[in-house]
């Protein structure tokens, strides 16, 4: 099924200058970059994006981390894009992510994990609309 998913290249990966390498991996995996922009999230925007986690103990740290530097947000499109992206990212905790996955190669720990990807079709829809208008998606 042709799907779209939201990707965020997080501040840790931007600072490591691996945006190009991560985008290359998306494309090599058959995902098309349908939209992309660089942003510095305000704490308020990061808090709204991650509102589903607001009761979690890591929420405040996560909001601080995500607003600590620029990010690149992108819409990826392809067959089973949501699951495909999750495979190439690897598990949330970078210390448990195999080498060869984006988090295994570029993440540091469970918070500084290089990339975000939508976890299902409903979230993908919501997350894409959070950052992009229809006219910005090619
Ligand atoms: P992400 O896929 O963007 O979804 C929520 C984020 O919260 C996650 O990646 C991590 O950056 C962060 N996160 C998830 N679990 C933890 C945790 N146990 N401790 C700290 N940060 C976490």
pTM of the model: 0.98
Q: What mean pLDDT is predicted for residues 64-87?
A: 98
Helix (H) or strand (E) holding 62: helix 59-66
What value does the mean pLDDT of the chain take? 98
Q: Output the DSSP codes for 13-55.
A: HHHTT-HHHHHHHHHHTT-EEEEEEEE---HHHHHHHTGGGTT
What is the predicted pLDDT for the residue at 39?
Answer: 98
Q: What mean pLDDT is predicted for residues 103-122?
A: 98
Phi-psi region of 128 (alpha: psi -120 to 50; beta: other; left: phi over 0): alpha
SS3 84: helix
Percent of the chain with pLDDT strictly greater than 70: 100
- Ligand 1 centroid to 135 CA: how many Å? 30
What is the predicted pLDDT for the residue at 58?
Answer: 98
- Ligand 1 centroid to 110 CA: how many Å? 6
State the catalytic residue, choosing from 4, 10, 103, 116.
116
Other beta carbons within 10 angstroms of residue 1's beta carbon come to 8
């Amino acid at each position: 099924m042709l799907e779209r998913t939201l990707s965020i290249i997080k501040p840790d990966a931007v600072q490591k200058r691996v945006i190009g390498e991560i985008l290359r991996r998306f494309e090599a995996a058959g995902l098309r970059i349908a939209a992309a922009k660089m942003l510095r999230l305000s704490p308020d925007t990061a808090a709204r994006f991650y509102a589903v986690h607001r009761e979690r103990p890591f929420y405040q740290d996560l909001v601080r981390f995500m607003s600590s530097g620029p990010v690149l947000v992108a819409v990826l499109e392809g067959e089973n894009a949501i699951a495909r992206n999750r495979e190439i990212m690897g598990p949330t905790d970078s210390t448990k992510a195999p080498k060869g996955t984006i988090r295994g190669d570029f993440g540091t720990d469970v918070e500084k994990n290089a990339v975000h990807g939508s976890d299902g079709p409903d979230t993908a829809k919501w997350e894409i609309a959070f950052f992009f208008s229809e006219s910005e998606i090619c």
